[in-house]
Amino acid sequence: MRARLPGVWSALSMAPGALALVAAAVLWRPAPLQAQALPVSEDCVACHLKLSDPRLSQPAKSFPSDIHSQVGLGCLSCHGSGGSNVLDPAMGFLHAPARKDIPALCGRCHSDGAFMRQFDPSLRTDQVSEYWTSVHGILLRTKGDTTVATCIDCHPAHDIRPPTDPLSSVYPTNVPKTCGRCHSDSTLMAGRGIPTDQVEKYTRSVHGQLLLVKGDLSAPVCNTCHGNHGAAPPGIASVRNVCGNCHSTMADNFDKSGHERLFDEHGLPGCATCHNHHDIEPVSDSLLVTRTATVCRQCHAADDPNGEQFLLIKKDLDSLSAAVQQSKATLEQAQNLGMEVSTALFELQDVTNAETKARNAVHSFSVATVRKETAPGFAITAKADATGKAALREHTYRREGLAVFTLFVLIIIAGLLLKIRAGEAEEQHGE
C-alpha cells in the first residue's frame, strides 16, 4: 500500500529509487562530515543485510514482517528526518534515536489522525497522549528516567506486529512476558519500592491459568486492567470498574450494598479487598467465613448483626447443599429399587443455577437477597424429595401388594391341592 506520508516523509521514504544502491554505497558513509545524497529505504536494507554485526543486520532481517514494511513504509519513515535530504545527523538523519525521543518519533504518524486514516480508519491515535499519562511516561518526562517502558519496549523496533498477530509482543498470551522483562527483574526495579511478583502471581491466578493454560482470551491480562498505554495502578476507586467490566453482576450488587463508597472512604481497594488483584484464587463458600473475620469486622463490631451477614449466607448455602444431598439420596434409593425417577434426578440439576445466582448475590452483603435466589433451589429440592418419597412409598405398596397377591395365590393353590386330595380320597373310597 502506498499511501501519502505526512509532508516530507513521503519524499524521503517513498520517492522512487532515484538513487541506485551502488551510488548510495559509494557516496554514503555513516555520519558523514559533509552533506550527501540520501539513499532510499531499499538501499538501507540491501547494505545492512550484509553487515556482520547483528546489531546492524538484524533490523534489516526482521523488518519484512514488521507491520510498517507490510503497509509499504521503509526505513526512512522512521530514520529519515524532517526537511533534509542529507545523511547528516546534525541535519536530522536519525541514527538510533535516543530513548527519550521515541514517543515523539512514533507519534509523528500515530498521533496524526488524518495520516493514519489513510491506512486504517479504525486505529486509535491516542497512544502517545495516553502514554504521557502513564507512570512510564510521567517518569520519563519529569525525571528523565529511561529505565521505564517506551514504545519500543512493548513493540520491539523492526519487529512490530498488530496486537491481533499471535507472534506480536502485545498479543494477550505474550503480554506477561513483555511486561515481565522489567517488572520481574528485581535488579532493574531495585529501590523503587514496588514488588516484582506481578507476573508470577498473575500466572498462578484463575485469570492467568485461564489465558495461559487454556488459551481462553476472555480472561484479563496486564493491559486489560492497566490500560494499553496509560499503565498505572488502578486507583482504589477504579478497581471496582476494572473488575466490573467483566463481572458486572457482582459489581452491581456491591454498589447496591452501599459498600463501594464505604470501602473507598476507608482506603479498601474494592473487589481486591477480598480477592486480591494479581493472585486471584478460585473461590469457595469457606471464603464467606474468612472474609467475615478479615473484612466485615474491620468496621462492624462482632455483635452487629449486619457484619454477620456472610455467616448467615454460608448457613443458607449449606442448608441448600444439604437439601440437595438429601433429595438426591432419596431419588437414588428409589432408582436402585428399580423405580423410574430419572426425570426427577435430571430436574434436580437445575439447583446449580440457583446456587450460582445465590453465590453472585453474596456481593449484596445481605442474606435476605441471597435467600431470594436460594428459594427456587429449595423449591426444586422439595419437589425432588417429594417425588423420591412417593416412589419409595409406591415401591413399598407394590411389595405389600405382591405379598398379598402371593398369599392369595398360595391359598388358592392350597385350596386346589386339598380339593384334589379330597377327590382322590373319594375315588379310593369308591373302589
| Interactions with ligand HEC, residue window 279-318 (CB under 6 A) | 280, 282-285, 287-288, 291, 295-296, 298-300, 306-307, 309-310
Nearest partner of 306 among 265, 338, 259, 343, judged by Cα: 259
The verdict on 154 binding ligand HEC (CB under 6 A) reads: yes
Grid cell for residue 256? 447496591
Q: Which is nearer to ligand HEC, 168 or 387 (CB)?
A: 168
Q: Which is nearer to ligand HEC, 154 or 339 (CB)?
A: 154
Which cell is 66 given?
Answer: 514488521
User: Min. distance of Cβ 350 from ligand HEC in angstroms?
Assistant: 16
**Residue range at the interface with ligand HEC (CB under 6 A); choices 181-189, 329-337, 338-346, 396-404:** 181-189
In the bound state with ligand HEC, the residue whose beta carbon lies nearer, of 191 and 430, is 191
Closest to ligand HEC by CB, 254 vs 334, is 254
Count Cβ neighbours within 10 Å for each residue of 231-264 and write b for 16 or more, e otherwise: beebebebbbebbbeebeebbebbeebebbeebb
Handedness of CA 288, 293, 295, 297 (dihedral sign): positive
342 lies in the binding site for ligand HEC (CB under 6 A) = no
Task: Give how many residues touch ligand HEC by CB under 6 A.
Answer: 144
Piece of 269-277, 338-346, 369-377, 413-421 that binds ligand HEC (CB under 6 A):
269-277
String marking each residue 198-227 x if it binds ligand HEC according to CB under 6 A = xx--x---xx--x-------xxxxxxxxx-
Does 79 bind ligand HEC (CB under 6 A)? Our answer is yes
CA-to-CA dists, residue 284 to 278, 294, 318, 392, 421, angstroms: 18, 16, 12, 35, 76
- Please identify which residue in 14, 81, 128, 387 interacts with ligand HEC, judged by CB under 6 A: 128
Q: How far is the CB of 314 from ligand HEC (least distance, A)?
A: 7
**Quick check: 378 binds ligand HEC (CB under 6 A)?**
no
- Residue owning grid cell 512490530: 160
CA distance 224 to 232: 12
Q: Is 356 in the site for ligand HEC (CB under 6 A)?
A: yes
Which residues does 388 contact at the CB level (< 8 Å), separation at least 6? 327, 330, 331, 333, 334, 341, 344
Task: Count CA atoms within 13 Å of residue 236 on its CB side.
Answer: 11
Determine, following the binding rule CB under 6 A, whether residue 351 of this chain makes contact with ligand HEC: no
Question: Are 393 and 333 in contact, with CB atoms under 8 Å apart?
Answer: no
Least distance (Å) between residue 280 CB and ligand HEC: 5
Q: Which single residue is written with the C-alpha cell 440439576?
A: 349
Residue 427 CB: number of other CB atoms within 10 A? 9
The answer to whether 163 and 70 are in contact (CB under 8 A) is no
Nearer to ligand HEC, 8 or 25 (CB): 25
Q: In this complex, which beta carbon is closest to ligand HEC, that of residue 265 or of residue 427?
A: 265
Q: Is 32 in the site for ligand HEC (CB under 6 A)?
A: no
Residue 39 lies near ligand HEC (rule: CB under 6 A): yes
Query: Is residue 377 involved in binding ligand HEC (CB under 6 A)?
Result: no
Cβ of residue 351: shortest distance to ligand HEC, in angstroms? 14
24: Cα separation from own chain's centroid: 51
Task: Tell me which of 44, 323, 348, 354 binds ligand HEC, using CB under 6 A.
Answer: 44
Own/partner pairs, 200-203, CB within 8 angstroms, 24+ separation: 201/276, 201/278, 201/279, 202/176, 202/278, 202/279, 203/176
Residues of span 386-415 touching ligand HEC by CB under 6 A: none
DSSP SS3 for 215: coil
Q: How far apart are CA 382 and CA 330, in angstroms?
A: 11
The residue within the footprint of ligand HEC, chosen from 8, 11, 25, 392 (CB under 6 A), is 25
| CB closer to ligand HEC, 356 vs 406 | 356
Judged by CB under 6 A, the residue of 55, 114, 167, 213 near ligand HEC is 55
Binding residue (CB under 6 A) for ligand HEC from 140, 158, 159, 387: 158
H or E element in which residue 77 lies: helix 76-79
